[in-house]
Amino acid sequence: MLLLVLLPEQIHGRGIYSRVEMHLMYLLSLYLAFCSYFVYLVIVI
């Protein structure tokens, strides 16, 4: 997970753009985690 966040910084290294991309990746990973948790709850219940 940390690699996913650090990778764009390495590739772009262009201040604000890479920061926005990092933020989007963070939100995406949170969203995926929430979805998998929701699916898990549905399967268990």
Contact yes or no for 18/10 (Cβ under 8 A): no
**Positions in the chain whose pLDDT score sits under 50:** 1
How many CB atoms are closer than 10 A to CB 18? 16
Residue 13: its pLDDT value, please?
A: 53
Residue 44: its pLDDT value, please?
A: 87
HSE (side-chain half, CA atoms, 13 Å) at 35: 6
The whole-model pTM stands at 0.50
Q: How far apart are CA 44 and CA 10, in angstroms?
A: 40
Residue 11: its pLDDT value, please?
A: 54
pLDDT in tens, 22-32: 788 889 999 99
Residue 45: its pLDDT value, please?
A: 74
CA torsion, points 21, 22, 25, 31, in degrees to nearest 10? -120
Residue 34: its pLDDT value, please?
A: 93
